[in-house]
Structure 1
């Protein structure tokens, strides 16, 4: 047999269309004050008075802003937009009339009490007291002194005179290196930027290229030298239209160009073999084999994937690793080095013929290893970075 449950909630049955109840300001104030009583909750008070809890929260906000009190007292309530516009006009008048602290000093000098002046204008009493006791000839010594930029401009022009592709960061790195060698204090990079901008020494901004739609989640860089080397090639034409093709090997940690080879012909496997062997000899004091296995990262060019190249690389302690097809991002460090060489060196060096270009290219590789500031190396050159990494201190 069905037994009714005595814990049944009361349900109100509507027999006619419900009418919206209009509550007076006094009722709203009474409900809001009831929510501030100890132990009371907004939801409980709302259920007790059969009001939506969101409505009670809105009344509490109006009560805290003073709107409900103003309505009950018969005062005019100003819209929020009008109040914001009035505050904007007040700030503009304060700007035109001067700072409030200056107005307070003028009023206090006329004999008004400091406490009253500070309370009316809303300024700090201690600040006003300190400023009122300062002599008429007081000068704020905390301001940054005006520095003469011309010595710094002259120094920067001497450092980057032959390096027109260097921006303010690399100019600052050269300046830091020069001053460290002379025992002089460093110059902040932000000041170098301000000085170069003021005197028109900054580079023109290059147009942004559309981002690549290919996704590359790998990481080419490594934390230690002689763990991974990368290799690639680039070519350019001399003024007499003779082509010059270059193959190089780069360490993926310290970014040093360990070896390179150039020719006016095509890329061949013999060039890659020479670059491999020369890199091993340079890194391991003339040894013909690396002390431990080193990854050799390259693309899928025929000179890299030839059987003779693969076999020779393993004999001298290199492990050949090729990038996925049509994925230059996987060998991004070598691609970035190509861009650096073409932008900072090849574009500016004299190259009337292949012989002259080859001589200047050797100078360019030496300058890159010895002096070129690299952003990934905290704007140290590759060999400078290696010296610091190998130093005991």
Structure 2
């Protein structure tokens, strides 16, 4: 084999990469690489790597087929290229593609690091695909890496990329881990599995000391609104409306909106009226009530119009123009007409009149025409314009 390697090395000096590639291929076809000594394999790897660095795309494509035949001696130099952020993208892409043929723990960990750190979308996508392709062998290797503290986080992140039911058990082992990032990653990964047995895990995570774990648990439960009665999800979620973290509050609002439940709607109305609720959360609560798509939800939105906050009223008027079902159009129209007819001080604000004109136009109810005609005579030119556009919209729908 050494004589052949010398001949290949000679071809290397002449930069005849096609010949180098052909001879390497023939050499490894004739002789099982596992029978060669370490020195011979290292030389073969070095030559193949040189071809990778200077060859064109087709040459690299051809030589890529040789590395799996060389075996595990290829792994370290390929990992060095893959982890070198300054290396040529195409070479890193080929290194990643070749490494996908091996099922070694160090490769799996490297793929996870790449997913975490790379700015190259194509590399990240391929890393995830390779992890999924490795599948069961990857899971077996990663379970062992979950045990040591120094490798646990990366191992859990790698398991999270493999959406296979066999990762559930090892992920359940770390949902109470001392490292918040480990708990978060485990909950996020488990949320993609729809076994009922996982619901208590998500419910428990609602009380996790780390905000992003609580948030992820809410998202998991939001996707399981169909189990709201069996697991009393609304009552478990309600306390999170008043969480210290605003992102947790926001997700709790969204989740309760998905429940389409009378108790959930009452809770959303309470957070809408709570004086300490941030404005953006009030706006989320308004939209969530609208998603509930019921007369009760519209009743709460009607009561919400009693707010003195003009931005809150404007948001409510806007969502009333977009009810979740056609059956609610008539009631939404009545609410807006009555609000405009109330002559409350807020109804004289131009931005409120603009919002009402827009929503009445979207609803398309003929009962709105007299009110829109009056708005078309308003002193504010923008209100006039919006009202006239709404009149056209209503008439066009008849």
- Structure with more contact order per residue of length (Cα contacts < 8 Å, sep ≥ 6): 1
Q: Same fold (TM over 0.5)?
A: no
Point out the structure with max Rg over C-alpha: 1
Q: Answer 1 or 2: which has greater helix percent.
A: 2
Q: Answer 1 or 2: which has greater strand percent.
A: 1
Q: What is the TM-score when the length of structure 1 is the normalising length?
A: 0.23
Q: What is the TM-score when the length of structure 2 is the normalising length?
A: 0.23
